[in-house]
Structures are given as structure tokens and as C-alpha cells.
Amino acid sequence: MKKGLVLFQVLVALVMVCTSVYAVVNATLELKIANSTVNQGDTVRVTLALKNITGTTTGITNISGYINYNKNVIEPLTVNNVVKESNGKVKINNFEIPIYNGVNNNGDECIIFNENPVSDNDTRILIDLSDSHAISQNTDILTIDFKIKQTATLRKHTKCY
């Protein structure tokens, strides 16, 4: 098994951040990667967080974006890759919301994972929160486990001086 730094380029594009009042909202999207050196077959845990939220007094209630990843390196993402509580819900701040693979027809607050990807290398994420659960402070919103393929070609890391 080769050791190396995977070309772990998980590009998360924050396509839309909305509030219940249509205002200009600024926020920083942060990816926290648990380990940057991996082997074939390893799992890499990545947490998506919102930081430095400004421009809203009511908070963020809707987030929509895509995860773009290299399927030659990472196993396909499904809703099962999302870290959930024992009841199957995702915890954001101190509340829990359901996560669905595909469409949520009941209109309640939820996370929809992998609906209408743009390409084979995309996974779409939609987060729809009620006004009472709007995000207005630094918050971890989603944690996903990425599984490195056994057949992935890993690049050895060399130090640059």
C-alpha cells in the first residue's frame, strides 16, 4: 500500500446561501480535514463549516452546493457517507434534522443529499432550515466520510524547501 498525499481535491462550491429576508449575506465556507496523509482504503473525515457570517440579523436558512470529487480516487458518495446521530438525523448546533437521499416531498426542514448532480463527479447538498434554526454563528453543518479506493493512485508527498 502506498503512502502519500491524495490529490484530495474536494471542491465544495457554495452555490447559494439565502436567508428568509433576501439580503446580501457573507460567510466563509471552511473544510476541516481530519487527516491529509492517507493510504489506499483509508477513510477521510471532512467537516463542512460556516464561519464569519455577516449581513443578516435572522441567520442563514438555506444552503445549496455541490461536492466535486475524483471518482478515480474516492468511492462514490451516498447519503450513507454523511455522519449521523444514532437516530439517523444530522446534528447542526443543538438540533437534529432528517437527511434524505433525493427528494423530500413533505416540505419540512431537512438535508437533501445527492439530488440532481451536475455530473458523475458531483454530489448535491441542499440544507433547508426553519427560521427558528437559522445559522447565525460559526457552525459545523455537515461531516462526510470519504473512502479512498483500494486501486487509487496516490502521490508521494515531497517537502519543498
d(CA 99, CA 127): 9
- Evaluate whether residue 100 is within a structural domain: yes
- Evaluate whether residue 155 is within a structural domain: no
pLDDT along the chain (161 residues), means of 10: 39 40 72 82 90 88 85 87 95 92 77 77 86 92 91 69 55
- Evaluate whether residue 114 is within a structural domain: yes
d(CA 108, CA 130): 8
Indicate the pTM of the whole model.
0.79
- Evaluate whether residue 104 is within a structural domain: yes
Domain range enclosing 109: 3-147
- Evaluate whether residue 156 is within a structural domain: no
Query: In this structure, are residues 148 and 41 in contact, taking their beta carbons and an 8 Å threshold?
Result: yes
Domain count, the chain: 1
CATH number for the domain including 121?
2.60.40
Residue 38, pLDDT score: 82
- Evaluate whether residue 91 is within a structural domain: yes
